[in-house]
Amino acid sequence: MKHVKALGIKFAITAIVLLSILTIFEAANLGEILFMSVLITGTSYIIGDLFILPKLGYFMAAVADFGLATISILGLSALYIGTGAPILIVSLAAGYIMAIGEAIFHIYMKERVLNDGESQPDYFRYRNQMQTEIAEEDDIHNLKHKPKSEKD
């Protein structure tokens, strides 16, 4: 269920960016953009979020998502929308905006999806494991000044 929710969030990020960028700069219809969003979401989730993010960290996953998104948008736009002079610039812009969204999404992935069953962050996990020691302290001052017979 965690992966379905994560895929939904990732699809929403991808679809919003593609709808915003491609409808402004290119003559793309809604069906083409949603199909491109599904393909980019699936490949980016498997490659970037499930393989690269756990092994290489946030930065490399964001760089990989930028490259993957840019190449995917460039290829799919050329295939479905058509080639034009600004297609490279549009792909780079969409890839950059998606990489920013993905950087925020990676924090969610690490904390909620890839955390191996831990539902709380580290600072909450150890809160209930702290122990305290309660004991009566002898008054050191009184022990030093008492005669030897009273100490026993």
Contact assessment for residue 18 and residue 93, using Cβ atoms and an 8 Å cutoff: no
> Confidence band (pLDDT; 50, 70, 90) for 28?
confident
Q: What pLDDT is attached to residue 61? A: 92
Domain spans of the chain, in order of start: 2-115
DSSP label of 119: -
Is residue 67 classed as helix, strand or coil in its secondary structure? helix
pLDDT, tens digit, 9 for 90 and up, residues 112-130: 888 865 555 555 555 555 5
Query: What would you measure as the largest C-alpha separation in the chain, in angstroms?
Result: 103
92/17 Cα distance (integer angstroms): 12
Cα–Cα distance between 99 and 86 in angstroms, integer? 20
State the burial class of residue 30 (Cβ atoms within 10 Å of its Cβ: 0-12, 13-18, 19+): exposed
For residue 82, pLDDT beyond 90: no
**Are 41 and 69 contacting, i.e. CB atoms less than 8 angstroms apart?**
no
* Separation CA 129–CA 106 (nearest Å): 29
Higher pLDDT, 36 or 118: 36
Specify whether the CB–CB gap between 69 and 99 falls below 8 A: yes
